Amino acid sequence: MPHNISLPRHRYVWVESESVLSDEFDLQARTPAVWWGVSVTPNRTLACHVVLENGAMVVDLPLDCLRWVDPLFENERTVQEDVASATWDCYGWDAEIVSCDYLDQMPVTILCADHKETSVRGSLWFAVDHKKDGFSMEPAQHKHLWVVAVETGEFMWLPQDQLLLHDKSFTDVQGIPKIKRQSVIRSNE
């Protein structure tokens, strides 16, 4: 079971220093890091593995300790709307990373848990697709959980039914689509 999973490519991020450095250090607000992997544990949030600029390796950091934006970003703000940074915990011990060229950096609008549109925007980085657990084996429950780099510098971890994708060459978003949940397991044998 791949409880620990490599990212499709490493990403340069910043980590909230208070979550990784003891107060004996001269703390900056954030520490540069390379995000190289994640781990999934049932009933816990997505955990992130990083190497800090000082050479330390830190594993199992919650996603909300990471930022993709430069700490000198002048207009830094946080998501103010009623949008949780994660909708669900990990489903089980087994998952894989989904990364598709077409979807990499795709602009998205975030929907809240009750599928109402928000003003929160971001871009897709990659998804975690759980497998071999009760939720992912049930068609109506199986969802890819996407890591979204939100325009505020934060990350969110959301199922695909809370995302509206914007491909200027293809999509024409006019409200919230009414997507039918998959409920049937199909087989040819």
| Model pLDDT for residues 28-77, shown as the tens digit of each residue | 677 889 999 999 888 888 899 999 988 989 999 988 888 888 655 545 55
Name the β-bridge partners of 90: 42
84-127 residue pLDDT tens: 677 777 788 888 888 988 888 999 999 888 888 888 899 999 99
Name the β-bridge partners of 5: 38
Q: What ranges in the chain are assigned the alpha helix state H?
A: 134-137
78-96 residue pLDDT tens: 555 556 677 777 788 888 8
d(CA 31, CA 33): 6
Residue 187 has pLDDT above 70, yes or no: no
Domain ranges of the chain: 4-70+83-165
Q: 54: closest CA among 95, 26, 82, 74?
A: 26
pTM higher than 0.85: no
d(CA 130, CA 92): 7
DSSP designation for 182? P
